[in-house]
């Protein structure tokens, strides 16, 4: 086979830590913020204030866990009142751990998979994610950034600075957050302007080389108006050495800034305006050859003698200086009318308008053959722009038209216009013909190559022949979506509440396709491309209801049971080689969840549990058929499991705090009888007489496999994170305190390839991190020493079929050991 489409890499950035200046945000500054509900005041794994020895009142307060305030239901609520499985991590925790990209969430929130790859990030929750091999696919996990919904996963590598908190909503969230939230929602909240002058700077350095400078300035104009400017410059060295180019793959530079403005022209009105710009440049990609066919390895060594196929030695050898250059922008306007006196008949009322624009552009150049030979290359570009508006009202009353007890409700209307333009181009290298005349090339072309031909083929001198040949795929899509939504919680008795919700949406998509060949058509012939142009249009409607029951047994003990229906839109094949199979249908999910929210031992222990099951019908899949990737609907899947979130600060041991997140889950195909055949299985079947010859002449059993009852990819059965923290004063000082945390994260066995090739199986492993924070009571400065993957585990995060060679693979490692030192300072 000779598949030229490049499966995107999914892995932790091996250059994830370094030397930087980072902002002393959220928790440290929120403690002196104005009386508005302090969303930044989230004590989750943040450094608590070290009390003076004689401050008995402060000691008593330090033994109780404070409420975590979230906006998981589009209004401010205590986490303990939200009938949804939610994991929350403060921005301080991520910064102290050196988790400056979203992938660090995996180490603190169970049942989450995040790869913030600069070209094609992938996000999964509860073992379910969407492949990024095709821009026509939409995500399974919704992204929300400061209340603005973002329609593409490409935004997730940007904006993680001056961060207040991250909320991970597990399970289908279609009622309030709309389509493409079958697996869940990740809600990023950045710090808001406050009513007093503030500034902060954080300088961070790490080994391997990393430098990060993060700053923040908060300027109030008077008591009703304030602005906040935050920025970051972040340089990371790569971990994978490229001996051909003599550079480190994965080296990146990111510069980003955000300006927020908050106005309160009257007691009833609040206006928040923000805009963010980000620019990232990456040397790409951090791929390594893995278990390469011997003839192919011999050929590659003719161009770089150091070429080998150990995917764990942090060495690669390819000749094309690949890159990813990405720019993004997000602007948002929030206008909230929150009258001090609610309208007659209501206890609470607010009206919120959120409008925004978001866009991302990037260009990527990839050495698809991952060798020093110039065989094949891929150029990929994306330009995505969206404009959206949401108008919603939140209200509460003592009863439902005189029936029962209190009612809380949210109703709204939403509209989105999105435009996407992409190109995916494959180009023949100057060594393509030379490779085709080698023993490895004969294997790829399916030509008989007896051993006696090897000396003859080997005697052919190496030569370069510029072909100027390739296949160019252009794709444009315009989408318009509208929706009406609402959700209500009605306490029909003092203890029990009924949850009713629904979302009615419709969407129109129009697409233009243009696939063409350049040059003599060698690449088009190999991949089976038939140049074409086409136009298509789709219209979809969906209703996503929610029904639930909530029981508040005591102020500290709540149970809930809910059923939700989710929807992920259908679409078009954005990388089509022919005008066949251009469309795929939407996915539907039916999700059950039963949960417990509880506080114990005088509120010193918080314990939340969730038991869930989600059935997904019409699963959207990417299949490798002959030489190209095609998309369609071919499977049913089920996600089920148990999740736990725990926080504990013992009353009699105020110097100790424990945070944990764990999940035991099972994500499997209920039905997938014609799944793509893995390369390893195909090689074994080719030994059978009935599976020899050309693919067109083989029976179906030689070209597919039945994955019914098998696990989904990237779906470990067990995920666990635990962070015990010790808090103690510094000897001979009444003002200094130390906080020492150990971060333990475990991920169970999993496959990284959707075809479940045995090569992509990674046995479970444990990552160990640690944080030591020294700070005074005033929080005016802090010194943070931290490390991640301290035992320098070398594991594979991604394995995929080689784009050119037969029976060969490419791997990508997890991030290695990172040691970090950070100095934080703030002024008020």
Q: Would you report the helix, strand and coil content of the chain in percent, each value rounded to 5? A: 10, 50, 40
As a whole number, mean pLDDT of residues 110-116 equals 91
Two structure tokens written together for 278? 């980000």
Alpha-carbon span 817 to 549, nearest angstrom: 46
* pLDDT value at residue 448: 63
* pLDDT value at residue 43: 32
* pLDDT value at residue 687: 73
Residue 132: inside a domain, yes or no? Answer: yes
Q: What is the DSSP letter of 435?
A: H
| Closest alpha carbon to 202 in 227, 232, 228 | 232
Q: What are residue 329's DSSP bridge partners?
A: 277, 359
Alpha-carbon span 699 to 175, nearest angstrom: 45
* pLDDT value at residue 438: 86
Within this chain, do residues 165 and 235 fall inside the same structural domain, yes or no? yes
Alpha-carbon span 156 to 187, nearest angstrom: 11
Residue 14: inside a domain, yes or no? Answer: no
Choose from 8-17, 331-340, 344-353, 620-629 the range with maximum mean pLDDT: 331-340
> For residue 111, is pLDDT > 90?
yes
Within this chain, do residues 299 and 371 fall inside the same structural domain, yes or no? yes
As a whole number, mean pLDDT of residues 652-668 equals 93
Alpha helices (runs of H) in 166-285, residue ranges in sequence order: 174-177
Alpha-carbon span 74 to 489, nearest angstrom: 13
Residue position matching structure tokens 């990552």 = 767
* pLDDT value at residue 126: 95
Q: Which of 54-63, 292-301, 375-384 has the lowest mean pLDDT?
A: 54-63
Question: Under the phi-then-psi rule, with left for phi > 0, alpha for psi from -120 to 50, and beta for the rest, what region is 36?
Answer: beta
Within this chain, do residues 777 and 697 fall inside the same structural domain, yes or no? no
Element of type H or E holding 433: helix 432-436
* pLDDT value at residue 273: 97
Domain that holds residue 656: 19-429+467-672+707-827
Alpha-carbon span 218 to 53, nearest angstrom: 33
> For residue 5, is pLDDT > 70?
no
Within this chain, do residues 696 and 746 fall inside the same structural domain, yes or no? no
- Name the band, by pLDDT with cuts 50, 70 and 90, for residue 30: very low
Residue 441: inside a domain, yes or no? Answer: no
Alpha-carbon span 50 to 53, nearest angstrom: 9
Within this chain, do residues 682 and 560 fall inside the same structural domain, yes or no? no
Alpha-carbon span 75 to 526, nearest angstrom: 55
| Closest alpha carbon to 83 in 639, 597, 599, 644 | 597
As a whole number, mean pLDDT of residues 362-374 equals 96
| Closest alpha carbon to 348 in 406, 292, 297, 294 | 406
| Closest alpha carbon to 149 in 188, 110, 197, 103 | 188
Residue position matching structure tokens 């401050």 = 55
* pLDDT value at residue 25: 30
Neighbour order of strands in the sheet with 163-170: 86-90, 163-170, 184-190, 141-145, 148-150
Two structure tokens written together for 222? 């008077």
Alpha-carbon span 159 to 91, nearest angstrom: 12
Domain end among 656, 681, 706: 706
Query: In 10 A of CB 219, how many CB atoms?
Result: 14
Within this chain, do residues 492 and 632 fall inside the same structural domain, yes or no? yes
- Name the band, by pLDDT with cuts 50, 70 and 90, for residue 11: very low
Find out whether 392 and 352 touch, Cβ atoms under 8 Å. Answer: yes
| Closest alpha carbon to 139 in 126, 152, 154 | 152
Each residue's pLDDT tens digit, 737-752: 999 999 999 999 999 9
As a whole number, mean pLDDT of residues 178-196 equals 94
Alpha-carbon span 462 to 647, nearest angstrom: 64
Within this chain, do residues 210 and 345 fall inside the same structural domain, yes or no? yes
Alpha-carbon span 415 to 353, nearest angstrom: 12
Q: Which of 139-153, 162-176, 469-483, 697-711 has the lowest mean pLDDT?
A: 697-711
- DSSP annotation string for 757-787: -GGGEE--EEEEEEEEEEEETT-SEEEEEEE
* pLDDT value at residue 21: 26
Considering the chain, what is the average pLDDT of its residues? 87
Q: What is the pTM (predicted TM-score) of this model?
A: 0.89
Residue 736: inside a domain, yes or no? Answer: yes
Residue 6: inside a domain, yes or no? Answer: no
For the chain, give the percent of residues with pLDDT over 70. 88
As a whole number, mean pLDDT of residues 593-613 equals 96
> For residue 23, is pLDDT > 50?
no
Each residue's pLDDT tens digit, 270-327: 999 999 999 999 999 999 999 999 999 999 999 999 999 999 999 999 999 999 999 9
Within this chain, do residues 362 and 509 fall inside the same structural domain, yes or no? yes
Alpha-carbon span 775 to 761, nearest angstrom: 43
For the chain, give the percent of residues with pLDDT over 90. 70
Query: What are the distances in angstroms from CA 199 to CA 275, 681, 691, 789, 826?
Result: 19, 59, 69, 32, 5
Q: Are strands 765-776 and 761-762 parallel, antiparallel or unpaired?
A: unpaired
Find out whether 383 and 421 touch, Cβ atoms under 8 Å. Answer: yes
Buried b (16+ CB within 10 A) or exposed e, 376-397: bbbbbbbbbbbebebebebbbb
* pLDDT value at residue 464: 79
Q: Which residue has the higher pLDDT, 460 or 710?
A: 710
Residue position matching structure tokens 């181009």 = 425
Q: Into how many domains does the chain fold?
A: 2
Find out whether 686 and 701 touch, Cβ atoms under 8 Å. Answer: no
Query: In 10 A of CB 672, how many CB atoms?
Result: 23
As a whole number, mean pLDDT of residues 575-596 equals 93
Find out whether 8 and 199 touch, Cβ atoms under 8 Å. Answer: no
Domain end among 659, 681, 706: 706
Q: Which residue has the higher pLDDT, 702 or 433?
A: 433
Within this chain, do residues 291 and 362 fall inside the same structural domain, yes or no? yes
- Name the band, by pLDDT with cuts 50, 70 and 90, for residue 61: very low
> For residue 523, is pLDDT > 70?
yes
Within this chain, do residues 625 and 523 fall inside the same structural domain, yes or no? yes
Grouping H, G, I as helix, E, B as strand and the rest as coil, residue 748 is coil
Find out whether 96 and 784 touch, Cβ atoms under 8 Å. Answer: yes
Q: Are strands 532-554 and 496-518 parallel, antiparallel or unpaired?
A: antiparallel
> For residue 62, is pLDDT > 90?
no
> For residue 390, is pLDDT > 60?
yes
Residue 449: inside a domain, yes or no? Answer: no
Residue 2: inside a domain, yes or no? Answer: no
* pLDDT value at residue 625: 57
> For residue 812, is pLDDT > 90?
yes
Radius of gyration of the CA atoms of the chain, in A: 27
Q: What are residue 473's DSSP bridge partners?
A: 424, 515
Q: Which residue has the higher pLDDT, 697 or 170?
A: 170
Alpha-carbon span 781 to 775, nearest angstrom: 6
Alpha-carbon span 623 to 514, nearest angstrom: 21
Q: What is the DSSP letter of 519?
A: T
Alpha-carbon span 614 to 171, nearest angstrom: 8
Backbone angles phi, psi at 58, to 5 degrees: -65, -35
Grouping H, G, I as helix, E, B as strand and the rest as coil, residue 105 is helix
Alpha-carbon span 77 to 394, nearest angstrom: 12
3-state secondary structure 396-410: EECCECCECCCEEEE
Q: What are residue 827's DSSP bridge partners?
A: 199
Residue position matching structure tokens 């394995």 = 799
Q: What is the DSSP letter of 746?
A: E
As a whole number, mean pLDDT of residues 447-463 equals 65
As a whole number, mean pLDDT of residues 32-59 equals 33
| Closest alpha carbon to 511 in 525, 482, 497, 532 | 532
Within this chain, do residues 714 and 699 fall inside the same structural domain, yes or no? no
As a whole number, mean pLDDT of residues 457-481 equals 86
Buried b (16+ CB within 10 A) or exposed e, 290-320: bbbbebbbbbbbbbbeebbbebeebbbbbbb
Each residue's pLDDT tens digit, 780-802: 999 999 999 999 999 999 999 99
- Name the band, by pLDDT with cuts 50, 70 and 90, for residue 772: very high
> For residue 369, is pLDDT > 80?
yes
| Cβ-based burial of 18 (10 A; exposed 0-12, middle 13-18, buried ≥19) | buried
Q: Write the CATH number for 163.
A: 2.40.170.20
Residue 201: inside a domain, yes or no? Answer: yes
Q: Which of 22-31, 76-85, 119-128, 222-231 has the lowest mean pLDDT?
A: 22-31
Each residue's pLDDT tens digit, 675-701: 888 888 888 887 766 666 555 556 666
Domain end among 661, 683, 706: 706
Within this chain, do residues 726 and 697 fall inside the same structural domain, yes or no? no
* pLDDT value at residue 302: 92
């Amino acid at each position: 086979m000779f598949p030229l489409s490049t499966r995107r890499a999914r892995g932790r950035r091996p250059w994830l830590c370094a030397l930087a200046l980072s902002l002393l945000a959220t928790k440290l500054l929120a403690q002196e913020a104005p009386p508005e509900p302090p969303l930044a005041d989230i004590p989750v794994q943040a450094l608590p204030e070290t009390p003076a020895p004689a401050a008995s009142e402060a000691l008593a307060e330090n033994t109780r866990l404070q409420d975590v305030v979230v906006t998981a239901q589009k209004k401010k609520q205590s986490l303990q009142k939200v009938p949804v499985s939610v994991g929350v991590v403060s921005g301080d925790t991520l910064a102290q751990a050196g988790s400056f990209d979203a992938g660090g969430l995996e180490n603190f929130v169970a049942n989450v998979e995040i790869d913030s790859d600069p070209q094609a990030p992938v996000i999964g929750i509860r073992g379910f994610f969407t492949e990024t091999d095709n821009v026509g696919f939409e995500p399974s996990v919704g992204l929300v950034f400061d209340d603005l919904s973002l329609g593409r996963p490409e935004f997730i590598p940007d904006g993680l600075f001056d961060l207040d908190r991250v909320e991970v909503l597990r399970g289908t969230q279609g009622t309030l957050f709309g389509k493409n939230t079958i697996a869940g929602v990740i809600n990023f909240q950045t710090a808001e302007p406050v009513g007093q002058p503030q500034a902060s700077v954080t300088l961070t350095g790490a080994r391997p080389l990393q430098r990060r400078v993060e700053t923040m300035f908060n300027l109030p104009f008077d008591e009703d108006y304030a602005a906040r400017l935050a920025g970051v410059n972040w340089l990371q060295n790569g971990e994978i050495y490229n001996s051909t180019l003599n550079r480190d793959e994965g080296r990146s530079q990111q510069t980003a800034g955000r300006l927020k403005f908050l106005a309160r022209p009257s007691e009833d009105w609040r206006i928040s305006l923000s805009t963010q710009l980000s620019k990232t440049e990456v040397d790409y990609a951090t791929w390594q050859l893995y278990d390469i066919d011997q003839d192919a390895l011999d050929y590659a060594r003719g161009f770089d003698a150091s070429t080998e196929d150990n995917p764990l030695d942090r060495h690669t050898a390819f000749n094309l200086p690949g890159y990813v250059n990405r720019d993004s922008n997000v602007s948002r306007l929030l206008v909230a009318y929150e009258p001090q006196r609610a309208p007659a008949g209501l206890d609470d009322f607010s009206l919120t308008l959120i409008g925004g624009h978001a866009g991302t552009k990037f260009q990527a150049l990839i050495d698809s053959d991952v060798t020093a030979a110039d065989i094949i290359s891929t150029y990929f570009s994306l330009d995505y722009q969206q404009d959206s508006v949401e108008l919603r009202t939140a209200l509460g009353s003592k009863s439902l038209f005189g029936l029962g007890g209190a009612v809380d409700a949210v109703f709204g209307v939403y509209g989105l216009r999105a435009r996407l333009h992409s190109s995916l181009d494959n180009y023949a290298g100057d060594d393509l013909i030379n490779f085709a005349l080698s023993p490895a090339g004969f294997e790829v072309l399916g030509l008989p190559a007896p051993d006696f031909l090897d000396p003859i083929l080997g005697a052919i001198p190496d030569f370069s022949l510029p072909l100027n040949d390739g296949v160019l795929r252009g794709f444009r899509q315009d989408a318009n979506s509208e929706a009406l939504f609402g959700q209500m919680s009605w306490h029909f008795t003092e203890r029990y509440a009924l949850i009713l919700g629904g979302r009615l949406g419709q969407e129109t998509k129009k697409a233009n396709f243009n696939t063409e060949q350049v040059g003599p058509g060698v690449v088009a012939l190999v991949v089976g491309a038939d140049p074409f142009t086409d136009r298509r249009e789709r219209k979809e409607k969906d209703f996503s209801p929610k029904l639930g029951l909530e029981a508040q047994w005591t102020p500290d003990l709540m149970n809930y049971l809910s059923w939700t229906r989710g929807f992920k839109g259908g679409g078009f094949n954005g990388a089509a080689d022919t005008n066949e199979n251009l469309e795929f249908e939407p996915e539907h999910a039916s999700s059950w969840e039963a949960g417990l929210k509880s506080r114990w031992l005088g509120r010193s222990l918080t314990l939340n549990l969730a038991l869930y099951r989600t059935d997904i019908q019409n699963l959207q899949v990417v299949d490798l058929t002959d030489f190209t990737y095609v998309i369609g609907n071919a499977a049913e899947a089920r996600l089920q499991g148990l999740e736990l979130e725990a926080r504990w600060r013992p009353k009699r041991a105020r110097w100790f705090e424990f945070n944990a997140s764990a999940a035991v889950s099972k994500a499997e195909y209920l039905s997938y009888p014609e799944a793509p055949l893995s390369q390893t299985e195909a090689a074994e079947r080719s030994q059978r007489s009935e599976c020899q010859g050309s693919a067109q002449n083989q029976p179906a059993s030689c070209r597919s496999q039945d994955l019914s009852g098998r696990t989904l990819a990237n779906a470990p059965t067990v995920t666990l994170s635990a962070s015990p923290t010790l808090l103690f004063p510094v000897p001979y000082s009444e003002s200094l305190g130390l906080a020492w945390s150990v971060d333990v994260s475990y991920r169970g066995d999993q496959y990284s390839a959707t075809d479940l090739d045995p090569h992509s199986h990674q046995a479970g492993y444990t990552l160990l991190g640690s944080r030591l924070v020294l700070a005074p009571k005033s929080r005016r400065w802090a010194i943070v020493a931290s490390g991640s993957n301290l035992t320098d585990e070398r594991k594979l995060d991604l394995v995929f079929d080689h784009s050119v060679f037969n029976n060969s693979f490419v791997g990508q490692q997890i991030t290695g050991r990172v040691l970090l030192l950070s100095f934080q300072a703030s002024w008020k």
